[in-house]
Amino acid sequence: MTPEALRTYLHDHIPLSRAMAVEVLEASANHVLLEAPLAPNINMHGTMFGGSSATLALLAAWSVMYLRLEAEGIASQLVIHRTTTEYLLPISGPAQASAHLDEAGWPSFRQTFQRRGRARLTVASELFYEGRPAGRLSGEFVAISEA
């Protein structure tokens, strides 16, 4: 899926991403890089609202998992089970969220999914502001077979 196609998918299926003006800079089955501007995500302190930055990081993690499932032809519903977010810096401008899929956990995830029709995998995402780490998210996702 191209970055443009992923952006359209997110905006059409997760309307909050459109309200946040999320853009997709990179999209593959191994890595996703998203960006959101400050203006639609600003808080009363002139920095990015914590909920917006957490959502940006969550969208990156969800997207890389979604793209891997799609690339491998795994028909499933993908939902978030739990997240933790750590904020490192205030974000006073555009923020980026980068998520990589943990290749070490993928074979076990696939095996469990094939056997049980559902499986969990934790995906990490990092937030960046002006090239510096500004936050981290860890999300546990569950894929549920559509068959």
Q: Domain locations in the chain?
A: 3-145
- Which tens digit of pLDDT belongs to each residue from 7-54? 999 999 999 999 999 999 999 999 999 999 999 999 999 999 999 999
- CATH 2.40.160.60 assigned to domain 3-145? The reply is no
pTM of the full predicted structure?
0.95
Three-state SS annotation for the chain:
CCHHHHHHHHHHHCHHHHHCCCEEEEECCCEEEEEECCHHHECCCCCECHHHHHHHHHHHHHHHHHHHHHHCCCCEEEEEEEEEEEECCCCCCCEEEEEECCHHHHHHHHHHHHHHCEEEEEEEEEEEECCEEEEEEEEEEEEEECC
Q: What is the pLDDT of residues 47-90, one digit of tens each?
A: 999 999 999 999 999 999 999 999 999 999 999 999 999 999 99
